[in-house]
Amino acid sequence: MLLSAIVSCGNGGASPQNIVGDSVVMRYSSLLGIMECDGYTVVDVKNPWSDGIMHRYILVDRECEVPPHLPMGTLLRTPLDSVLVFSTVHTRLMSDLGCADAVVGVCDSRYMEQPYIMRGISDGSIVDCGSSLNIDVEKVVQLSPQALFVLPFENGGYGKLDKLCYPLVECAEYMETSPLGCAEWMRFYGRLFGCGQRADSVFSSVCRNYECLRDSVAGSVEYRPTLLCELKSNSAWYVPGGGSTMGILYRDAGAEYLFDYDKRSGSVPLSFEIVLDRAANADFWLIKYGADEDKTYSSLLDEFAGYAHFKAFREHNIYACNVSRKRFYEETPFRPDVLLRELVAVFHPQLVCDTVLRYYEKME
C-alpha cells in the first residue's frame, strides 16, 4: 500500500527509461504508447503540446504482488472499481464497455444524461461532486476514489485536486488529430477496468466499419459537394481546421470541405467576410448548437441577417444538430464510424440508403 501511495501522487510525469516488454501496436493514436511487461503494463501518454511524456501509468493487477523495480510513474491497481469521472464522454464509454459500476462519482452532472448516472445520483450510489471548475473537495475525500478521470489543458493544472493524493487519469484523446486516433483510447481505458480484450475488439470493429466506408466513398464518389460548417459566434466564426478530427471526417465522407486548406487541428477563428468570400456558394451547411428550441431559417435570420447571403441558406440545405437533444458530443468521440456513416448519408445518400440520421436533421 505504501508503494501505491508513493507512486500515485503527483502528475506522474516520466522521462524515457529502458523498459523491457512487448509493445502493443497502436493503429491510429499518436499520443498513446502501451507496453506489456512481466507482471505489469506501462502506458505512456505523450504531451500533446510539447515533446516528451505527459504522464506514465503503471498498471498492476490487484490480485498480484507489485513487482520490484517498477519504472517511475503512477501506479494503478487494476481493474479499477471506484472512479470519479469529469466528462460525459467517458461515462458513456464505460457503459458501452460494461464497466459502468466503477463510476462512483461525477462532476458537471447536469451534462450527463445517461440513465445509469441519473439513477445513481438519485439513489445515492453515485456522488455529485459539483462543478469541475469548483469541485467539492470534501465529497471527493469522503468518496476516496481509486482514480479521477480528468481533462488536461495546455499549461493548466487541476486546482484543488493538485493538493490531493489521488491518481489522475489524464484523458487527452480529444487532442488526437484523427477520428480513429481518438477512438483508440478505449484500448487504454479498457485495460484500466479489466476489459482490455473487449475494448480491443470494439475498436477493431469501429476501425473496420470506418475504413470500409471511407474506402468505398473514395472509390465511388466523383463529385464532392462543397461544405460550410458552424455559425458565427460574436465577432468570430469558428470552423474546424482541416487537420481536426471533424475536418478529416468531412473529407472521408466525400465532401469538399472549404476550409480544409488550413491544416490546424483545432477550431479556426475567421471573420464573417472571409467565410462569406470562400463559402457563399457552398452546397451544404452543417451546424451544431445547444438550445431549448430547434433553430429555423427564420430564427437564424433573427440572430444574424448575414446568413441570408449563403446559397445553402437560400436553398434550404442546412443540416442542424441540436446537441441539447442529441448526444453528439457524448457518443461520437469513440464511435466515429457511426458519425462517418451519417455524414455520408447527408452528402451521398445513395451509398448508404438504409441509414436513418441520428444527430443531424434537415432544418425546416
The span from the CA of 272 to the CA of 263, in Å, is 20
68 belongs to a structural domain = yes
Is the pLDDT at 230 greater than 80? The verdict is yes
Q: Where are the alpha helices (DSSP H) in the chain?
A: 2-8, 88-96, 115-123, 137-143, 179-183, 186-192, 196-220, 245-252, 272-279, 297-303, 311-314, 328-331, 336-347
What contacts 24+ positions apart, CB below 8 Å, involve 111-119? Answer: 112/88, 113/88, 113/327, 113/330, 114/88, 114/330, 117/91
In this prediction, what percent of the chain has a pLDDT beyond 70?
Answer: 95
Same-domain status, 156 and 244: no
Same-domain status, 198 and 229: no
* pLDDT class of 184 with cuts at 50, 70, 90: very high
Mean pLDDT of the chain: 93
52 belongs to a structural domain = yes
Q: Which three cell numbers stand for residue 87?
A: 466528462
103 belongs to a structural domain = yes
Q: Which three cell numbers stand for residue 198?
A: 473487449
CB 68 within 8 A of CB 60: no
Same-domain status, 251 and 130: no
Of 155 and 59, the structure prediction assigns the larger pLDDT to 59
pLDDT at 158: 87
213 belongs to a structural domain = no
Task: For cell 444574424, name the residue.
Answer: 304
pLDDT at 100: 97
The span from the CA of 200 to the CA of 26, in Å, is 11
- The residues, ordered by sequence, that sit 6+ positions from 73 with a Cβ below 8 Å of its Cβ are 7, 12, 14, 42, 55, 56, 57, 58
Please, what's the b/e burial string for 49-82 (b: 16 or more CB within 10 A of its CB; e: otherwise)?
A: eeeebbbbbbbbeeeeebeeebbebbbbbbbbbe
pLDDT at 74: 97
Range of the domain at 294: 221-362
CA nearest to 72, candidates 30, 102, 29, 42: 42
Q: Which three cell numbers stand for residue 319?
A: 443540416
pLDDT at 19: 85
* pLDDT class of 4 with cuts at 50, 70, 90: very low
Same-domain status, 281 and 177: no
CB 92 within 8 A of CB 331: yes
208 belongs to a structural domain = no
Last residue of a domain, one of 153, 169, 203: 203
What contacts 24+ positions apart, CB below 8 Å, involve 273-277? Answer: 274/237, 275/228, 275/232, 275/237, 275/239, 276/306, 276/309, 276/310
216 belongs to a structural domain = no
pLDDT at 17: 59
The span from the CA of 54 to the CA of 99, in Å, is 26
Same-domain status, 196 and 248: no
- Tell me: the pLDDT tens digits for 200-219? 999 999 999 999 999 999 99
User: What is the pLDDT averaged over residues 258-268?
Assistant: 93
- Tell me: the pLDDT tens digits for 43-63? 999 999 999 999 999 999 999
SS3 call for 139: helix
pTM, whole model, 2 decimals?
0.92
The span from the CA of 327 to the CA of 323, in Å, is 6
SS3 call for 186: helix
292: domain CATH number?
3.40.50.1980
- Tell me: the pLDDT tens digits for 281-340? 999 999 999 999 999 999 999 999 999 999 999 999 999 999 999 999 999 999 999 999
pLDDT at 159: 85
Same-domain status, 199 and 65: yes
215 belongs to a structural domain = no
Same-domain status, 345 and 225: yes
Is the pLDDT at 186 greater than 60? The verdict is yes
Same-domain status, 46 and 184: yes
Task: For cell 451509398, name the residue.
Answer: 351
Same-domain status, 21 and 150: yes
CB 66 within 8 A of CB 88: no
* pLDDT class of 113 with cuts at 50, 70, 90: confident
Is the pLDDT at 8 greater than 70? The verdict is no
Domain count, the chain: 2
Q: Which three cell numbers stand for residue 84?
A: 470519479
Same-domain status, 186 and 299: no
Q: Which three cell numbers stand for residue 296?
A: 429555423
- The residues, ordered by sequence, that sit 6+ positions from 87 with a Cβ below 8 Å of its Cβ are 108, 149, 151, 171
Last residue of a domain, one of 143, 170, 203: 203
Is the pLDDT at 13 greater than 60? The verdict is no
The span from the CA of 141 to the CA of 286, in Å, is 44
Same-domain status, 186 and 230: no
The span from the CA of 341 to the CA of 329, in Å, is 16
Last residue of a domain, one of 172, 203, 234: 203
Same-domain status, 198 and 338: no
225 belongs to a structural domain = yes
CA nearest to 89, candidates 343, 328, 358: 328
pLDDT at 12: 52
